[in-house]
Amino acid sequence: MKTLLIGLGLSCCLLSVKGQQVSYTLDYYLESARENSPLIQDYRNQKEIEVYERQRLKALYTRSKVTLNGDYLFVPVISKDNGKTSFEWNPQDGVDYYGYDLGQSSGHFQAGVTWTQPLLGHSAYKVADEQARMNTEILNDKMHLEQHQLERVVTEQYLLCLLDSKQIAFADSVGQLLDRQAAVVRHLAESGLAKLSDLQLVTIERQSNQEMKIASRQSFYTHLMDLNMLCGIKDTAVVLLEEPALTLRLLPAASSAFMEQYRLDSLNTLMSLHSFNVQYKPQLHLFVDGGLRISEFASMQKHFGMSAGLTFSWTLYDGKQKRLMEKQARARMNSIAFYKDNFNMQQELRRQQYLTELKTYGERCRLLQNRLAEYRQVLAGYRKEMQAGELSVIDYITVLRNRIEAEKEYILLETNRQLLINTFNYWNW
């Protein structure tokens, strides 16, 4: 008996949990999209790479370097000294032989360690470090733009899911209304005030509404799964979505965040030119090496030693490459300025276009609300007349169909208005 009661209790709990649907907001999906975006994660990793790159550049331009080096050269000949022909792999001298002139080329062995320290590398490091900083700023801006793009795309997909959800709820309300009217018509038919065909007509409308509800559910599930994939959410459960509070973000054109990419592109062009010009500065290195250098192995223990010195280089002429790079930089700056001006022009046109369309949407929504209010009044009167047997079911169904189409049009119109607000906020940023 106790086992039976426990089993029934668990079954009731499971049914209760199964019947509850989780409710999510737009902010939840936006945050999930930011956290799970591969591109944003890639930008974060690239920023980390730039941190290590700056450390590497500091070591390259300002720190000393120790290298282990060596080489071994042997000069083989075919000797005919003393009337004998033989192969010698590394002779030190000879009179009659075939091979390189031993007076000009002979074998040797060299092995040692070299220490090198750049003496004029701080200015070059400063330029390289600024270039790395610029790369980090560009990555930050790209990540900011990607987050903004994600906000637009996720919001659009969320609104499509809400559209399906509203259509499902509307189909439920219409279904309840038709159920009540079916009961009324059945009662009238039993009383002889309505025909059996009238009841069949109501049944057809109920089936049509049920088909619309099933189609909306299918569309909702498809859009919801697309939303989950977009946000990196591993879930196939059907959830409830809360209505977002979308408002127009009216900002002055001068504060547009899209302009940052053009500013950074201009600075990066100048920085690339500075990095190129580093090669025209004097290069001075101090080196110290030590090891073994011999041409004969017989006395190798006597030839361990060391040397030190300076290496200097300064590019004085390279075919006017510096001037050509400056011309390239000016051409890039002109292109960036042109793109910037073109974007400003398009952005201003978009603002005016979207604001005008939003005004039109507002007027259409107001007119539809008035039409729906009139439909409700007409249907309320028709319902009373039909219950009294003074109005045909066909007339009532005709007006009801018109009201359903108007409701569907209003739901779609309101969703399009929200989509347009989202688009306006994306560009007016």
Residue 11 pLDDT grade (very low, low, confident, very high; cuts 50, 70, 90):
very low
**Which of 31-45, 208-222, 255-269, 283-297 is the least confident region?**
283-297
The C-alpha atoms of residue 141 and residue 265 are separated, in whole angstroms, by 11
What does the pLDDT read at residue 135?
95
The C-alpha atoms of residue 141 and residue 127 are separated, in whole angstroms, by 21
State the Rg of the chain over Cα.
41
For residues 59, 62, 64, 68, the Cα torsion angle rounded to the nearest 10 degrees is 60
Would you give the end-to-end CA distance of the chain in angstroms? 67
Query: Buried b vs exposed e over 31-59: b needs ≥16 C-beta within 10 Å?
Result: ebbbeebeebeebeebeeebeebbeebbe
The C-alpha atoms of residue 42 and residue 38 are separated, in whole angstroms, by 6
Tokens of 281: 């500065």
Domains of the chain are 21-64+117-279+324-427 (1.20.1600.10), 69-116 (no CATH)
H/E stretch holding 285 reads strand 283-294
What does the pLDDT read at residue 429?
86
Residue 9 pLDDT grade (very low, low, confident, very high; cuts 50, 70, 90):
very low
Quick one: how far is CA 361 from the chain centroid?
Answer: 31
Q: Is 419 helix (H, G, I), strand (E, B) or coil?
A: helix
**What is the pTM assigned to this prediction?**
0.82
Across the chain, mean pLDDT equals 88
What does the pLDDT read at residue 406?
94
CB-CB contact of 199 with 186 (8 Å) = yes
Quick one: how far is CA 76 from the chain centroid?
Answer: 63
The C-alpha atoms of residue 140 and residue 81 are separated, in whole angstroms, by 76
